[in-house]
Each structure stands twice: as C-alpha cells, then as structure tokens.
Structure 1
C-alpha cells in the first residue's frame, strides 16, 4: 500500500493528475481526489470485502486433475485460457473506424478483452427492402468503403455492419455471439420503413393519421379503442403476424447455432406495465404504435419453434423495476422458453457520473443490490446486456472517474450469484448512436486506450484470471481453486517430456 501511495504521489507531482493507466482502487489510493469522500464511504472497505467474498463464492470452483505419468517432484502449471463468464461488447463498429490500424486494434479486443460480441440485427437496416436482407453485404459494407467516409455517421448503415462478415470473424476467433434484436417496437431504430406498405389503401389512410410529419403519435391513436383498431386494421394484423414470424424463421434458418443467444424481445416491460399486452388479441396498442397482439409471448414461441434447443433465448429491457420480473414470471408460467434475462444500465448523462463521483448519484452498492435481487426473482441467469458509463469530460480526471465507477460496478456485478455476463456498449468514443454521449468508450476515437480500458483489463485478465503452480500428491493428483473456465494444465512426464492438456473447471 505504501508503494502504491508513493507512486501515485509521484505521478501527481509530475503531471497534476493520475496517469493514464492509474485507477484508484480505494480511498487511500485516490490521492488525486477524483472521487469524493462520500463516494468512498459507499464503496468502503467492508463493502469491498463483501464483494470479494461473493466473488470467491459465486465465480470460483474447486478443480482436481490426476496425471498418471507425471515425473516425481515435477511442478504442475495451471493457466486459465478462457472464462465461462461472459465479458462482452457490441461489435457494431466492425471495419467502420476509418483506418486499418484502428480497425485492427478494435478487432484484437475480441479474444483478448472480450469473449462475446453482440451483433446488430436491427430489422430496419438489416432489411431496408422487403425480402432483401443485407446478410452478405456489398462494397458499401467493406472496410475500403468506410475508409473513404469523412462523415461515416451520415450513412444509414453506420453501426450496422453486414451480419455474415461479423459472425464469420467471431467464429474464426472462437468468440461467443449474441444477436440483437429480433422483435422490438421502436420505429426509429428497428421497424422497417416499408411495413405500412403492406396495408390496404383504407388501412394506410387511417395509419397515416396516427403520426405527425416528424413521426410522433397524434391524439387519434390513443383515442381509438382496441376493438376499433382490430376492425380497422384486420388485414394488417394478419400481415404483421406473418412478417414477424417470417423474420425469426429466416434468421434462424441462416444462422442455426452459429449465434449462441438472441435478444428475442426488447424493451416490452413498459407495455406490460400499461396493461396493453393482452392474450388472445390480434393487435397490441403499444406505446410504440401498432404491434402484433401479445407480441412478447408470440415472439418467444416463434423463436422456440425455429431455433434449436441449444440456442439461448433472451428477453431484454432497460426497466429494472419489479414490473419486469413480473412480466418474465408470467411468460414463464405460460410456457415460454426464456433462458436469460437481459438487464440494461446506461449512464448516458455525464452529470450522472459526476453525481456518482460526489457520492449522491445512482448505482450505489445498495441500489445495485436491490434491483439485482428483484430481478433474480424469476430464478434465471442475468445478463447485463448493455452497459454505458460516460466520462463527465475528456480531461484525465474525468476519464479516471469513469474508470473508478466502472471498476467498482464490474466488481459488484461480477459478485452477483445470478449474473452470467456483462456487455459494454460503445467501445470507442464518438461512435455511438445519435444522441448517445461521445465520451463513453473504452478507447478514444483514434483507438488509444483510456483508463477505463486498463481498469477492465486489470480485472478480466489480471485479478479474475487464475494462474497457479502446484505440487501433486503421491497419486499424481493436483487440486486447486480458480475462476470457472478452461485451463491449460502443463507438466513434465517421467521421460522428461513436456506435456499439457485442457481442463474445464465448471
């Protein structure tokens, strides 16, 4: 501890702020005062010790390997080579960063820091024309095309790379893939512009009356009752049911088990809370606009029908209140296959990060434990599926604040019994969707690592990776405790030859 404090003091004396890779892990080490005393009172030594105990209990297991040919007195080297826990990120900026060197650094993260990639399957940009999905891509999806773009964010397929290329890349690296998203009502990001083209002329006239020129819902939509909506849009209701099922069927047929898990339904808990998701109805008067009746149930049933049993089906939401757990429990009661609950946590507003640093913001240990306990009620694995932690600025102190918040939250999330994975959202600064913060990445726009990258790398590839040397007993059995995952066990046999084998610690 004294050595760490001395190093920190020297860095502050030389530069006036913490160095790029220096992340205070406690109040005593935060000699630059990037976090307030009130923050460290929340993340106090007793809280940190509790997190450590829970990590030990929930993320580790006891291993036992017997080596019948080991030389007498030989040491056994135990090296973890992969994690069972999912450490992911979305891969929406694949080959879109403008320079080959940037793209190469970005790709290298998958397999070194991240073992899982969330692949963009937004309907609007995957299938801009009906029946012609962009699975394989074209020149406009190539690295050469993106290297020519001075304003890449103006392209309609920015952050939406052709899916075949991304999946092929991930499989070549042994990276777990997660598809996002199959069914979502959002008309800005997900619904194709051409869906209303399948309406009858009479339906289209009524539909157009529901929206202002800038796409907002008019008062006519909320005034119309569900019975009248179903009569008015009877033909469209049939079409929606067919097209939603067809989308899931076509994607399942193309990718099979090459994609390990899917967000089947996204952000439907608010409709559940409003009481508009009604079994047996042909349409849902969703807050998004018209959706197929009982759409979360139908989507999950359609996915279960078209995907094999080995593909995990997720439901995903930003709601962390009890309504989400109640919705999942009800869908399970009705016989839906839900393997994982996705939970979002976006600190988009830089002021939220400043408030956290001052000890008065969201995501305190007590708040996190409370909502994770509520969401654990259905008994399903939890996936923190979309994580955004924004630096309050671009100076070094702001970036250190981002790193400290991320380090402590990752530790707490990792310690949760039900947690199976954590997925960072925007990896690179200034590469998010319009309206998302520009300073929430792990890297700057020119792919230079920020302190938050060093914080996560230090956890994933440092503290949470087991490397041991052990002596076997007289029967050649070595016992150890480590983080769950795959290991390389190495030893010298009786003939003096080096041997190794893989071992999965579950």
Structure 2
C-alpha cells in the first residue's frame, strides 16, 4: 500500500499526450509510468566508491565493496564524498595531506562512477578546522587564506559538472574558538569572524560554480546556529541550504526534538538538508561524552535487539522529515558498519554486508510507499494523466521506453514514440 497522506508537496499530476513517429495520437492503449529516481535526495556517505572506482584494493576486498555499493545503489540516489584537506584517521586518508599533491584523480573517478549510476554527489567539506592540512601551520594568516582560496578554486573548478553541491564550510559556530589543537583554519576564522569567514568562502565557491548548491553545515542546533544564519543572511550571503548534522550516538532525538529543530530553522525559508544522520544498532554512547571523537572502543557490536530499535527510529525520523516541506535531503553518515566512524554500529548494513532491519525499512519507504509505478490508458486524443512522486520517470509502451521528469506545475507534455 502506498501511503501519501500529508505528502501532496512531494507529488504532482501530469498529463502526457502520446503520439507515434508520424505525430498521430496513440489511442486506447495501456501505458506504464515507472519512477526511476526521486527528486528528494536520500543518501549517505559512501567513501568506498573511491576504492571501487579506482580498483585500488585486493580482489576479494573489491568484490566485498562492490556488493556493498550494489546495496547502496538499490536504495539511495545521493552520495557524499570526502574532501578532507589533511589526514582523517578512520577514513580514506586525506585529499591533500602533502601540499600541492591532491588526490584529484581518485576522487574524480569516484564521482564519475556515482554519476554514471544516476547518483547526485556532494563534496564534503571545502573548509573545516578539523582534518585540515598540517602544512598550513607553516604559513602566515594571509598565506593560509590564499591557500584556502586556491583550494576552493581548484576543487570547485575541477569537479564542476560532476559535483555541483558542496558543504562549503563546516561547523563555523565552534570554528574560531576551537581549542583542541592549533590549526590554520581556526587562525583565520579568529581574524575574519564567523560571518566574515563564511562570506569569503561562499563568494569564492560561487565564483567558480555559480549554479552549485552551497550549504552551511553544523552539528550545533542551538540558538547560536540560528544567530549565525541570521547574521549571514543580513550580510547578503546566499546560502542555498541549511545543513543540520544529527549524529545521535547518545540516543535518538525523537519526534519532539526533531519537530522543535524544524520549527526553529524553518523561518529562514531555506531548504533544509539533514546532512550527517546517525542512529545506532548497538549500545548508546555514554551521555557524559562531549566530543564524540573522545569515545574510543574497539568492539561495539550491532545486536538484534538494538537493530529493531534502530529500524523503528529510522522509520519515524525519515517519515517526519519527508513530510516537512522544507526538507530536501536526508543523508546518513554511514551506510555500513564496515569502517564506520569511531567503530560505531551506525550503518544500514552490518560489517559482513548483510542488511539490517533499518535497511529493509528504508527500502520499503523509498522504493515502496514513496514510489510510483502505475498504469493508465490513453484516450481518443492520445492523452493520459497520472499522479506520482516528483522525480525521473519512464513511460513504457510495449518494448518502448521514453524518459521524462515529473515536476510541480509542468503542464501537458507531448511524448513521441
């Protein structure tokens, strides 16, 4: 059963006039409208695409990762790829740990691999004080700023057309006061201030890809983030979407907090992306941990009991977010427990590639309840109307397929067999 209550904003009516090669209407024939992709972005971090696209691991590991990505592609249409400037333990190294030697070729191959499979790709992030290049510390503040600008120019230009969505700057609320260790980005953030820093980085990114979707992204969902957003908009900064991280290692936010966060960030009138969602299928992290990176364990199992909890939380959270008119994307931070951040059981599939209940629940929602595959019959004018979820479609008639998009307010479209 397809559940569409409260989802009219995700759907549209469309009328097709179907004609043959001579322009004559195709009369009284059954045609099928099959959705091939959602407009809404359902995704996750999928850093293993780098290894698969470059075939940079042994054959047995490659086969394992290919199976993992097949599971990903069966449900998701959105992927985050890593552009960490320096080394980031637990992930795919760094993008440019040595000055002037970026791993552009490897990331390019991954982005192409994903795009060829109809996946929208986002780069994460262009500017961040954590996992930044250690060699920045050898530079003056003026030189650090120039190096950061040059990085933006290079990445945004090189990947334009493959990656047209960026987390431009990450976690700015804490950026100028970050004191865990010295880094070049915090140094210039102190000098420029939060709004000044964002303005410079957004302007530079926009200059090299004017049509890109640019996000401000933060884990801090307090009033401090609201104040920062207000300051940015008052300063004339064009932010295309608000990125909200939702790492819930210490427990599910629940409906009340989700709706409260949505209520507070909705008045900005900007699209909202839940960029880094995490819900565990194992024991929760102790509540006294402040910086999640400080919780270091080697064995953090996924268990049947907590997998059922994760599935219920995923179903509720995604349903709430999909119903909200400003939410345009939900991206889990991990797809799999294999190689997960801080070894958490945070994926939709286990370390052995077997799907968890949360994977099956999400697949049912995205490819079942929120998916369109309907049949209609053309009238005497070759006209047929259907209602479906926004996205990409194929009209199928006999052995013929015609691709088209279902968008809001598109009117009547003529398709030729």
TM-score band (shorter)?
A: 0.7 to 0.9
Q: Bigger CA drift: 322-331 or 286-295?
A: 286-295
1:183 counterpart = 2:127: yes
Q: Are the aligned partners of 1:322 and 1:375 in contact in 2 as well (CA < 8 Å)?
A: no
Deviations 1:391-450 (A, max 9, x none): 1353322211111110111111111100111111111114123x351x111111111111
Partner of 1:401: 309
Q: Are the aligned partners of 1:325 and 1:377 in contact in 2 as well (CA < 8 Å)?
A: no
Distance 1:327 1:62 in 2: 39
For residues 131-146 of structure 1, the aligned pairs below 5 Å read: 131-136=100-105
Q: Bigger CA drift: 388-397 or 97-106?
A: 97-106
Partner of 1:93: 48
Q: Give the alignment's TM-score, normalised by structure 1.
A: 0.67
Q: Which runs of 5+ in 2 are unaligned?
A: 52-56, 87-93, 284-301, 408-417
**SS of residue in 1 equivalent to 2:380:** coil
**SS of residue in 1 equivalent to 2:355:** coil
Partner of 1:228: none
Distance 2:305 2:319 in 1: 21
Match among 247, 251, 269 for residue 346 of structure 1 = 247
Match among 430, 448, 471 for residue 377 of structure 2 = 471
Q: Are the aligned partners of 1:314 and 1:339 in contact in 2 as well (CA < 8 Å)?
A: yes
Q: Are the aligned partners of 1:110 and 1:173 in contact in 2 as well (CA < 8 Å)?
A: no
Distance 1:400 1:101 in 2: 28
**SS of residue in 2 equivalent to 1:242:** helix
Match among 39, 53, 56 for residue 5 of structure 2 = 53
After superposition, the Cα gap between the structure-2 partners of 1:130 and 1:319, relative to the gap in structure 1 and judged at 3 Å, is same
Deviations 1:223-245 (A, max 9, x none): xxxxxxxxxxxxx2211221111
Higher relative contact order (CA 8 A, sep 6+): 2
1:336 counterpart = 2:291: no
Partner of 1:168: 112
**SS of residue in 2 equivalent to 1:447:** coil
1:364 counterpart = 2:261: no
Question: Aligned Cα RMSD in Å?
Answer: 2.5
For residues 214-293 of structure 1, the aligned pairs below 5 Å read: 236-270=140-174, 289-292=186-189, 293=192
**Deviation at residue 100 of structure 1 after TM alignment:** 2.6
1:425 counterpart = 2:333: yes
**SS of residue in 2 equivalent to 1:459:** helix
Distance 1:454 1:317 in 2: 29
Q: Are the aligned partners of 1:52 and 1:415 in contact in 2 as well (CA < 8 Å)?
A: no
Match among 35, 38, 41 for residue 80 of structure 1 = 35
Deviations 1:86-135 (A, max 9, x none): 01111113336962321111222453211111010000011111111122
Partner of 1:193: 134
Distance 1:341 1:246 in 2: 25
1:449 counterpart = 2:355: yes
Q: Are the aligned partners of 2:28 and 2:380 in contact in 1 as well (CA < 8 Å)?
A: no
Distance 1:196 1:479 in 2: 62
Partner of 1:310: 211
Partner of 2:68: 106
Q: Are the aligned partners of 2:169 and 2:201 in contact in 1 as well (CA < 8 Å)?
A: yes
Distance 2:29 2:66 in 1: 41
Q: Which runs of 5+ in 1 are unaligned?
A: 2-50, 137-161, 199-235, 277-284, 353-361, 493-497
Deviations 1:123-166 (A, max 9, x none): 00111111111222xxxxxxxxxxxxxxxxxxxxxxxxx31221
**Deviation at residue 487 of structure 1 after TM alignment:** 1.1
Partner of 1:117: 79
Q: Are the aligned partners of 1:110 and 1:175 in contact in 2 as well (CA < 8 Å)?
A: no
Q: Are the aligned partners of 2:136 and 2:184 in contact in 1 as well (CA < 8 Å)?
A: no
Distance 1:71 1:123 in 2: 56
Q: Are the aligned partners of 2:311 and 2:358 in contact in 1 as well (CA < 8 Å)?
A: yes
